[in-house]
Structure 1
Amino acid sequence: MENANLPHDSNVAGNCGGSESDYELTRARPYQDPEILRDLYHDEGLSQSEIADRFDVHRTTITHWMNKHDIETRPPMGDREPKDVYRIVDGDEKVQYLERNNELGHLVYRHQLVALLEYDPEDVFHPDTHIHHLMGAPAAVDVPENLTVLDAREHIKRHAEGTATDDPRTILDLMRDDFEPMIGGSANSHSGGNE
């Protein structure tokens, strides 16, 4: 029982050095690693609860390790400055951006923003038009080749009739046509011709 004095949660076996045991411990329990915690909390913007869910531990465990490593935390929700823009994902997996102006809120979908790459803003945001996804997919494919502006009534009619989606190969062919010159040019320059 030469290891009887080791902490209960230690993965140290035998006479390993301190740095190796620290490495083994954080590899076995990544939520104890200060770099991982900082990255998830500050860079990815996850909450302590979301980090806890990711590692299947309780939120208080994450709080403990963040405090131990002196990782600065955000103020509680009620004490925070309101954001100018909020990102929301609705039940259909469509990403929305909500702008707060005093008490008024302006909601813009990501597919509307992408559609601006191909269409006039007056068409994209006209009250009588909708942005339609040509290819039906479980999650929205928000690329310009997959979007078109339709009259709102026509859009609703297509969905009601079940004719709202195109064959995915049609959209993929359009996308390939856009990228083929870049790929073809790159492939030709490395084709083993005269050097």
Structure 2
Amino acid sequence: MQTRKLGNSNLEVSAIGIGCMGMSFGYGPPKDKQEMTALLGAAVDRGITFFDTAEVYGPYLNEELVGEALAPFRDQVVIATKFGFDISPNSDPRGMKGSPGLNSRPEHIKQAVEGSLKRLQVEAIDLLYQHRVDPNVPIEDVAGTVKELIQEGKVKHFGLSEAGVQTIRRAHAVVPVTALQSEYSRSVEKA
């Protein structure tokens, strides 16, 4: 399997990765846990080292699945996860209604990371993305919080999802942005 270095970092991943969302969220009911665990193991056996999840997938179920399934391979894989949605009973956790479902306040980011570390069964998150740009929180505050988490050893690299050029530049001025994730079927934030 060919590999790629992300950004200007030392983070090297397989050229093909696995987006794990559909295993427990988004495309019908959660899939069989044993089957998904076997699938993730087979992917590692074939040289795939990059796996993407998020706290909102399930919510939480996908991180738990990925953490458990990839625990035997932890030294061979890179796990990316995302924060940024308000996962509370009164919110729209998928954020489909716009910004009311978003939450990238610094205290929420720290809380989300603590939960993700436990569910993924890791000491540090390899790549932590902001899932969607939160118009209510300056990107400099978001990047500054992730920078603190990197300094604390809880996160290794920072990424943005669905962010525009100016937002990426502003975040990168605070802490290096290692990766950008954009879904082909989604329009990217303009700022």
Q: Which structure has the bigger radius of gyration?
A: 1
- Could you say which structure has the higher strand fraction? 2
Normalising by structure 1, we get a TM-score of: 0.21
Normalising by structure 2, we get a TM-score of: 0.21
